[in-house]
């Protein structure tokens, strides 16, 4: 995978463009937010996240889908259980992933953040392949967008406490941060 700074799109990964984005108010990219998602909840490899982010989810297919009908959300990236990375929105654009949020007293984190969704749940371990892809992607993002520092990588729960719990207790922050710090792998 190789991030093209001019377009904000990574080459060598799957692209699945979402209509759920708009322009960043000032072009700033200085925060990376890690999330988790699965549709239906705790079911993996369904392709429903992609449909959801493209506003194509058939809400009659599962009772849970009715509760998210009408929501217009996206993220910049999704990392599936097998480590496959899909990009939905250019890094240069404002994806709709964080919602009502605040980081270091600054509101509306979508304005200045990138969102990475891991296919998973709060309480089920993420896969080695997901950590490997997340580390590789994060290194590209840290290099391309130097205002994102290791201290400016957080979970959705950190910017929307009380409202969001992801990436959850199963996400191994020490493993992730350690691999970024030492330049090694997440094994």
CA dist., res. 146 & res. 186, Å (int):
22
Whichever domain contains 157, its CATH number is 3.40.80.10
User: In this structure, is the dihedral angle defined by the CA atoms of residues 177, 12, 142 and 97, taken in order, positive or negative?
Assistant: negative
Q: Note whether residue 83 is domain-resident.
A: yes
Q: Note whether residue 159 is domain-resident.
A: yes
Residues known to be catalytic: 117
Domain that holds residue 34: 2-181
Q: Note whether residue 110 is domain-resident.
A: yes
Q: Residue 181 above 90 pLDDT?
A: no
Mean pLDDT, range 79-87, rounded to an integer: 98
CA dist., res. 57 & res. 39, Å (int):
10
Q: Residue 185 above 60 pLDDT?
A: no
pLDDT at 183: 61
Cis upstream peptide for 40 (omega within 30°): yes
Q: Note whether residue 186 is domain-resident.
A: no
Per-residue pLDDT tens for 119-142?
Answer: 999 999 999 999 999 999 999 999
Q: Residue 186 above 70 pLDDT?
A: no
pLDDT at 172: 98
Per-residue pLDDT tens for 5-40?
Answer: 999 999 999 999 999 999 999 999 999 999 999 999
| pTM of the entire predicted model | 0.96
Residue 4: enclosing H or E segment and its boundaries? strand 2-4
Q: Note whether residue 120 is domain-resident.
A: yes
pLDDT at 6: 97
Number of domains in the chain: 1
Q: Note whether residue 187 is domain-resident.
A: no
Q: Note whether residue 141 is domain-resident.
A: yes
């Amino acid at each position: 995978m190789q991030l093209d700074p001019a377009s904000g799109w990574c080459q060598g990964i799957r692209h699945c463009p979402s209509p759920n984005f708009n322009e960043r108010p000032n072009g700033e990219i200085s925060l990376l937010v890690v999330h988790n998602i699965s549709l239906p909840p705790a079911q993996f490899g369904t392709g429903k996240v992609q449909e959801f982010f493209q506003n194509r989810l058939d809400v009659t297919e599962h009772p849970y889908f009715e509760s998210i009908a009408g929501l217009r959300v996206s993220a910049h990236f999704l990392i599936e259980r097998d480590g496959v990375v899909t990009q939905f929105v250019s890094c240069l654009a404002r994806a709709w992933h964080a919602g009502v949020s605040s980081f270091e007293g600054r509101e509306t984190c979508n304005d200045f953040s990138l969102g990475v969704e891991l296919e998973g749940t709060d309480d089920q371990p993420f896969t080695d392949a997901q950590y490997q892809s997340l580390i590789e992607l994060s290194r590209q993002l840290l290099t391309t967008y130097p205002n994102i520092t290791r201290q400016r990588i957080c979970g959705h729960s950190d910017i929307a406490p009380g409202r969001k719990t992801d990436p959850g207790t199963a996400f191994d922050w020490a493993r992730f941060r350690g691999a970024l710090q030492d330049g090694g792998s997440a094994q």
